[in-house]
Structure 1
Amino acid sequence: MEWVVKVGGSLFPENAIKLLHALEGKEVMIICGGGNFANMIRDYNQELKFSDDASHEAAILCMDIMGKLLADKVPGAQSSDNLNQVNRILKNNKIPVFLPSRLIHYLDPLEHSWNVTSDSISVYISHILQAKLLIATDVDGIYTRKPSFKDAEFINEISAKKLLSFGETSVDTALSELLINFGSNCYVVNGKYPERALSIIEGRFSKKNIQYTLVRGD
């Protein structure tokens, strides 16, 4: 398997379903963000002050829920919580949608904080699989500020070291540290336009023909 594609919860349901249909037949594994389920836990945490352990594990369970629901709506997809089954699912010409809570609970490789979200978890899993990573979200990539600001400038390529100074952008704050530690890169692309993700996965892209951000871990 060549690629891990993290499908942001902000794309669920319509755009996430459309993206998965576009990826059918590709050597990819899907990981879903926790979406509004995880956002609800974050909101409740503001009031109730859950422990870091409880928040971390509950938010990752939301990734499982989103993955299970997304796979249910795409006949060509199949969910699994076992990495050993991923290649078998691919051989059956289906897209594996990985449910990560069991693996992350067992290995416990990441800090328990809101700095770590599905972005960082996808970096970690792509690393252990030695696969490339594409993060599909609801914006074109990474900007100097929130895209809603008029003076926000789009960034086509950035080092993870420089991104560390940005704080939380369209990716979580722990992602940059992991990319540096692993010496890995990742692409951030707007999943509302499946052809952009396909262009990157198929290696037929350039800075001129699509918008994306490459985050370098060098």
Structure 2
Amino acid sequence: MPTSSPRPLAVVKLGGSLFGAPRLGALLDVAARHGALVVPGGGPFADAVRALQPTLGFDDRAAHEMAILAMAQGAALIQRLRPDFDRVASMDEIERARAAGRAALWWPVPLALEADVPASWDVTSDSLALWLARAVGAARVVFVKSALAPVSSSIADWARDGLVDAHLPRLAQTYAGEALCVGDASPEALDAALAAPSRLAA
């Protein structure tokens, strides 16, 4: 008897500005229904690293590693809200969650520390989410922002407008999937983005 293939994997990047937002629970519900792989931002934890760097004088490499640990703090926060999400830290764990059709939450250590991206504030959790989407062969990556997002624009426009980090347009040139941006923390828009047919669907 033939077995059905797993649905195309989608990565959902939840900006750290959404921590504590009224719609966060609804956004996580949508991600769960679609079996998405959620990447947390660093939010206020990463902001603390940025604020302390000029005071304490640590270099960009140290700041980069601390910001990744800030993402792990964001993941810990989301995990308390949704303990049903599989916490995944390796490619094998990601694949097992995908094969089971389960929503997953990326624990970025150690993979993000090993990612081939510059150690710079031009790189944030946005670029790391796209890096992960490329590494796992995700069909699409959806960036969820609290700010309003334009209906149609390019990744370069998003970077110019400050919706995503400056490195993302360069990294996107090597990604075969689709990149979408959902604004106003809209669960309905996220649901539509995840439900749309994928050009990479098996």
Q: Quick one: which of 159, 165, 172 aligns to 2:165?
A: 172
Contact 1:56 1:113 in 2 (8 A): yes
Identify the residue that residue 213 of structure 1 maps to in structure 2: none
1:158 equivalent among 153, 176, 179: 153
Residue type at the aligned position of 2:163: S
Q: Which runs of 5+ in 2 are unaligned?
A: 1-7, 198-202
TM-score normalised according to structure 1 size: 0.78
Aligned residue among 124, 128, 132 for 1:125: 132
Change (3 A) 1:26 1:160: closer
Whether contact under 8 Å (1:76, 1:93) holds in the other structure is: no
Q: Quick one: distance in 2 between partners of 1:57 and 1:193?
A: 30
- 70-79 vs 84-93, greater mean Cα deviation: 84-93
Q: Which has the higher strand share?
A: 1
Structure 1 CA distance, aligned partners of 2:85 and 2:166?
30
In structure 2, relative to structure 1, the CA distance for the partners of 1:161 and 1:40 (3 Å cut) is closer
Matches within 5 A, 1:93-172: 94-105=102-113, 107-131=114-138, 132-141=140-149, 155-161=150-156, 166=160, 169-172=162-165
Displacement of 1:52: 1.0
Structure 1 gaps, min length 5: 142-154, 205-218
SS at match of 2:162: coil
- Which residue matches 1:62? 70
Note if contact 1:31-1:98 (Cα within 8 Å) is conserved in structure 2.
Answer: yes
Distance between the aligned counterparts of 1:108 and 1:98, measured in 2? 14
Aligned counterparts, 1:196-215, within 5 A:
196-203=189-196
Q: Return closer, same or farther for 1:58/1:39 CA change in 2, 3 Å cut-off.
A: same
Give the superposed CA RMSD.
Answer: 2.1
The answer to whether 1:192 aligns with 2:192 is no
Establish whether residue 11 from structure 1 lines up as the match of residue 18 from structure 2: yes
Instruction: Out of 49-58 and 185-194, give the one that drifted further.
Output: 185-194
Judge conservation of contact 1:21–1:76 (CA < 8 Å) in 2: no
Sort the Cα spacing of 1:184 and 1:162 in 2 relative to 1 into closer, same or farther, 3 A.
farther
Q: Which has the higher contact order (CA 8 A, sep 6+)?
A: 2
Q: Rate the CA distance shift 1:172–1:161 in 2: closer, same or farther, 3 A.
A: closer
1:160: how far off? Answer: 3.9
Aligned length: 188
Residue-by-residue CA offset, 1:153-194 (whole Å, 9 max, x unaligned): xx3323345666x2x611111011111243554111126221
Q: SS where residue 171 of structure 1 aligns?
A: coil
